[in-house]
Structure 1
Amino acid sequence: MAGKYMHRVTLQVEERVRLPLGGDRTSWVDWKIDVPAEVVPLSGREFTAATAEHGQVSARMEVPFLPGVVNTMRLLFDGQIYAIRAVLPDPTARRHLTLMVDAGISDG
């Protein structure tokens, strides 16, 4: 897709696997790769807590409409993990989704 979708992201889902000797193992697996996206940083902040520096970035990412995208997923963009905090559908025609995301503190 041309135009405003100049970036590419990968959407991931959390997968839990039951281990043979008991317990679970959790990992993130790719759900959709090379998804066209528009990435708009909204804010960034740095602070010091417990003598360690942390940074957090909030962004809005718009992708073409994909059924099944939920806020328990995460996405990868430019080597960074973003937790999806909200999925906002296009209210008129199901042409796109707006994903409110953040990176840094929780890393999805």
Structure 2
Amino acid sequence: MDAGKLDRLITILALTTGQDEYGGVTETWTPIDDPVWARWMPGAGSERFAAASTYAETQGRFLIRWRSDITPQHRVAWDGREFDILDVVEIGRREGLELRVKARA
């Protein structure tokens, strides 16, 4: 993996649950570790119409160094946006990971 192309700092988020003062369950997305360096590779964007509203969707890929603790249950935070992880694909033999993501605009 070419370290010079990893030019974006992203944060991997995990869903955590807690309890509020009334005993209700709260859910928040919290970082699982320090930010990691990544390469952003934009994909196709799209628009769709549902429930009398138009939704824009951005898809792309983040390439990062190998980690064993990232799954599609996590999210990626970058540039003020949060991306759902659709798929995690191994690059080479534990050389890196390709995180296929989407975000709604």
Using the aligned pairs only, state the percent identity.
Answer: 24
Q: Matched residues in 1 for 2:41 and 2:57: separation? A: 14
The residue type paired with residue 33 of structure 1 is D
The residue type paired with residue 28 of structure 1 is W
**In terms of mean alpha carbon deviation, does 62-71 or 12-21 score higher?**
12-21
| TM-score normalised by L of structure 2 | 0.86
The residue type paired with residue 101 of structure 1 is V
> In structure 2, the residue corresponding to 1:22 is in which secondary structure?
coil
Say yes or no: does 1:98 pair with 2:98: yes
Name structure 1 gaps, 5 residues minimum: none
Say yes or no: does 1:48 pair with 2:49: yes
Q: How does 1:1-108 map to 2 (within 5 A)?
A: 2-19=3-20, 21-92=22-93, 94-104=94-104
Q: Across the two proteins, how many residue pairs are aligned to each other?
A: 104
Taking structure 1 as reference, are residues 78 and 20 closer, same or farther at Cα in structure 2, changes over 3 Å only?
Answer: closer
| TM-score normalised by L of structure 1 | 0.84
Q: Matched residues in 2 for 1:63 and 1:36: separation? A: 6
Q: Matched residues in 2 for 1:45 and 1:19: separation? A: 38
> In structure 2, the residue corresponding to 1:3 is in which secondary structure?
helix
Cα deviation 1:51-98 (Å, max 9, x = unaligned) = 222101111111111221111000111111100111111242x12111
